[in-house]
Amino acid sequence: MKTHSLDETKALGARLAGLLGPGDVVELVGDIGAGKTTLVKGMAEALGVAEPVQSPTFTISRTYQLAGGLRLAHYDFYRLVDAGVMADELAEAVADHGTLVVVEWADSVADVLPTNRVTLTIRQVADDPDARIIDWTTSGEMATRLAELTV
Ligand code: ADP
Ligand code: MG
């Protein structure tokens, strides 16, 4: 898939959120400035989060309350070699069927992420600063649910 603006990436996040639910786990891969947090903003808006979504680069995690007592948990483990207690918090969120989990820079917590997750990779485009190539893979049953994301 290719997006041509920040808003198109947010719209993709909104579509993704519509196909996912609490209990699902999303891993976001891409360089700094690729658009991972932008995609999460689109997801959060679509899920009815009114407060501004900020990058959790320094807090590592932010949790947003959703309707019906559900939660959107956003993690960013950028440059963390040892995630420590935050890995435990992530594990709890992953195990919580009321929480939709999104993780940026998941390398240090790879063993905590479930196999049944979707991994989105965002790449910048050499000749177009506003374009992004976005691909996704999943090894779980989510493939069926996410099939329509590609079209
Ligand atoms: P990351 O979380 O991957 O580090 P951010 O989402 O914080 O990235 O930042 C992405 C930056 O790229 C923003 O400044 C945004 O305005 C810009 N941008 C330009 N084009 C796009 C696009 N098509 N999709 C997402 N972001 C874009
Ligand atoms: Mg980010």
- For residue 108, the 8-state DSSP code is G
Which ligand lies nearest the alpha carbon of 32? 1
SS3 80: coil
Q: Which is the closest atom of ligand 1 to the Cα of 31?
A: 3
| Candidate from 5, 38, 124, 128 with most ligand 1 atoms within 8 A of CB, to mutate | 38
Which ligand lies nearest the alpha carbon of 13? 1
Confidence at residue 151, expressed as pLDDT on a 0 to 100 scale: 61
Question: Which residues make Cβ contacts (< 8 Å) with residue 21, sequence separation at least 6?
Answer: 100
What is the C-alpha to C-alpha distance for residues 68 and 115, in angstroms, rounded to an integer? 27
Mean pLDDT by 10 residues, the chain (151 residues): 97 96 96 97 97 88 94 94 94 97 96 95 97 93 88 61
Confidence at residue 109, expressed as pLDDT on a 0 to 100 scale: 96
Nearest CA to ligand 1 atom 19: 130
What is the C-alpha to C-alpha distance for residues 14 and 41, in angstroms, rounded to an integer? 8
Determine the distance separating the centroid of ligand 1 and the alpha carbon of 147, expressed in angstroms.
24
What is the C-alpha to C-alpha distance for residues 118 and 147, in angstroms, rounded to an integer? 12
* Angle at alpha carbon of residue 88, lines to 102 and 143, rounded to 5°: 35
Nearest CA to ligand 1 atom 15: 6
